[in-house]
């Protein structure tokens, strides 16, 4: 399957190089451009060209950005009924359950989201590499955005860096927050001698979390969160530092003693907003709060 980017050269673009055109109109990264160049997938009027070739008014410049795969590499397909929110030739958006890893890891190479997506693609006769744009921890449920090719992944990564990829979460935390709405700006860094644990520390990286309380009772608060930065475990670290750890969080709270209440941290990626990598259309997706979180503050 080919995925063709196409641009007709305007009179004000005459004399520009193909490289400048592709970067200007499609945001193609230098790395991908290099790959396309050496695999003869850039064309002027259907003839293979170099990235340094110049164009004339009316020329048709095209680039094939598909990734040509014959199999799924080392990711074995796993039969699983996915909750697919959206899919096209560039993206697949999935609502991940809170007990599933986002991609294969040392403890699980067979039943992750990546394995399930490979099975889904195999049923449609598709073969793609797995480019996840917003990886979620195993214990976090919600929306995962996966690109089907390097072009899409690069465009999504660029949006994350410039703040155009917006991520909203819902978390159930212990107690009532000192301020029902607010902004947490505290630097986060790795805990000394720990592989995974983070903490608020002066020499950490800047981290900003915006939140507002949706509802609360005597035990818990349900909060909506917008991340302005994407540090590892940012939400979990910030709310634990504030004295309101997430319910079920074994690493930053009391989750080991709350397994009868919930088997994971009560965190859900409920909404994402970004621009389509090709059309630049603004896309917005939502995923309902799982009952295992919702019922703790609003019992059915």
CA distances from 50 to 16, 87, 190, 220, 268 (A): 13, 33, 45, 61, 46
Distance from the first to the final alpha carbon of the chain = 48
Let me know if 53 is a catalytic residue: no
What are the beta bridge partners of residue 142?
Answer: 96, 269
C-beta pairs of 234-240 under 8 Å, 24+ apart in sequence: 234/188, 234/207, 234/209, 235/169, 235/171, 235/209, 235/267, 236/265, 236/267, 237/188, 237/198, 237/199, 237/200, 237/207, 238/184, 238/186, 238/188, 238/200, 238/207, 238/209, 239/171, 239/173, 239/184
CB 265 within 8 A of CB 246: yes
Beta strand spans in the chain (E): 4-8, 42-44, 47-48, 60-64, 84-87, 91-96, 131-132, 141-147, 166-174, 181-185, 188-190, 198-200, 208-216, 220-227, 267-275, 282-286
Backbone angles phi, psi at 113, to 5 degrees: -60, -40
The active-site residue out of 59, 137, 203, 256 is: 137
Residues serving a catalytic function are 137
């Amino acid at each position: 399957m080919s995925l063709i980017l196409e641009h007709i050269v305007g009179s004000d673009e005459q004399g520009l190089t193909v490289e400048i055109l592709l970067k200007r109109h499609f945001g193609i990264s230098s790395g991908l451009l290099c790959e396309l160049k050496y695999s003869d997938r850039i064309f002027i009027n259907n003839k293979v060209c170099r990235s340094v070739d110049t164009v004339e008014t009316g020329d048709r410049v095209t680039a094939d950005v598909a990734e040509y795969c014959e199999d799924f590499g080392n990711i074995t397909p796993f039969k699983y009924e996915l909750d697919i929110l959206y899919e096209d030739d560039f993206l697949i958006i999935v609502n991940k359950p809170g007990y599933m890893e986002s991609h294969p890891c040392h403890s699980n190479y067979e039943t992750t989201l990546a394995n399930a997506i490979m099975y889904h693609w195999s049923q449609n006769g598709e073969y793609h590499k797995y480019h996840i744009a917003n990886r979620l921890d195993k214990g976090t449920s919600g929306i995962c955005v996966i690109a089907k090719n390097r072009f899409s992944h690069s465009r999504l990564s660029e949006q994350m860096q410039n703040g155009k990829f917006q991520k909203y979460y819902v978390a159930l935390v212990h107690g009532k927050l000192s301020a029902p709405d607010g902004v947490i700006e505290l630097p986060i860094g790795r805990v000394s001698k720990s592989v995974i644990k983070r903490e608020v520390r002066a020499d950490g990286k800047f981290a900003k979390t915006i939140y507002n309380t949706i509802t609360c009772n005597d035990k818990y608060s349900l909060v909506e969160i917008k991340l302005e930065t994407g540090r590892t475990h940012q939400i979990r670290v910030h709310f634990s530092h504030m004295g309101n750890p997430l319910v079920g969080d074994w690493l930053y709270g009391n989750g080991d003693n709350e397994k009868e209440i919930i088997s994971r941290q009560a965190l859900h990626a409920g909404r994402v907003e970004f621009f389509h990598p090709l059309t630049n259309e603004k896309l917005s997706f939502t995923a309902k709060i799982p009952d295992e979180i919702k019922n703790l503050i609003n019992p059915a």
